[in-house]
Amino acid sequence: MLAVGFLLLTSPASRAQEPQDTQAHDPHSPTNRPPRVISVSAKDFAFEPAIIHMKVNEKIEIDVTAGGDALGVRVSPFPDGAKANTPPGLSFQFGEDCYKIRKGEMTPILIEATEPGTYSLTCCKGCGGKHKGMVGRIIVDPMP
């Protein structure tokens, strides 16, 4: 009787259900993506578009593609000019500090805005002489 129970637990039918359960929790699966996805190109020391608008309580996905060299992208969770002890106004699905992006590849960044403000999008990997000038902005508008 015990052997039958073991066979049922390890049968191909029970294993076939595992990927479905995993996919249901995969934040990048089409069913879990936010309604708004923004493609961002990172090349020639610039982000395009350089400014992204979103609203408080909105969730978006930014799909960043490195057109030139590999680079890193950091989105500050704190608004520009925030004082000490200011709570973060952006949260991230994966909580990365620096998203690594390989040349020609796309990396999704899932963001939720909780506080209005302007947040910096920067390159966090030395990618050349104009690296420090590679800046974009996420502007979170208050609810109307």
* Chain segment 98-126, per-residue pLDDT in tens: 888 888 899 999 999 999 999 999 988 76
The residue ranges of the chain whose pLDDT is under 50 are 1-24
In this structure, how many other beta carbons lie within 10 angstroms of the beta carbon of residue 102? 12
User: pLDDT at position 123, please?
Assistant: 86
Pairing type for strands 106-113 and 71-75 reads unpaired
Residues written for the chain: 144
Percentage of the chain beyond pLDDT 70 is 73
- With beta carbons less than 8 A apart as the criterion, state whether 91 and 135 touch: no
Tokens 């899932």 locate to 110
> Which pTM was predicted?
0.74
DSSP run (H or E) holding 15: helix 12-25
Give 103's DSSP letter.
B
